[in-house]
């Protein structure tokens, strides 16, 4: 079984959320993710419980982050700004 390498800012799918989630932090064997159902608040999930979410574009990713509220931008500017720059570069 091939193990996927995840990074902070990656979007993933999990059974904990109907929408893609974003990785906020990585711990040994698990990831801290922000999910839509918690308005961007966090939940720890094991790596075996997430899959890469490569099928959503940058605009959808920005839309998901924007739905988390102002607090999310304040706490995670690096994730937000990197995605904005990548989106602008792909135009």
Q: If we measure between CA atoms, which residue out of 37, 39, 32 comes closest to residue 12?
A: 32
CA dist 76 and 29 (Å) reads: 22
Domain ranges (residues) in the chain? 11-89
- Could you tell me the pLDDT band of residue 4, with boundaries at 50, 70 and 90? confident
Nearest to 58 by CA among 17, 36, 89: 89
Task: Say what the pLDDT of residue 70 is.
Answer: 87
Question: What is the C-alpha R_g of the chain?
Answer: 13
Alpha helix stretches (DSSP H) within the chain: 58-66, 70-75, 77-89
Q: Tokens 């994730």 identify what position? A: 79
Question: What pTM does this model have?
Answer: 0.92
């Amino acid at each position: 079984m091939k193990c996927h390498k995840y990074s902070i800012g990656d979007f993933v799918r999990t059974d904990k959320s109907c929408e893609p989630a974003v990785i906020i932090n990585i711990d040994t064997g698990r990831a801290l993710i922000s999910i839509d159902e918690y308005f961007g608040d966090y939940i720890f999930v094991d790596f075996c419980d997430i899959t890469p979410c490569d099928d959503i574009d940058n605009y959808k990713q920005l839309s998901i982050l924007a739905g988390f509220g102002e607090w999310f931008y304040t706490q995670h500017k690096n994730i937000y700004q990197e995605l904005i720059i990548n989106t602008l570069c792909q135009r």
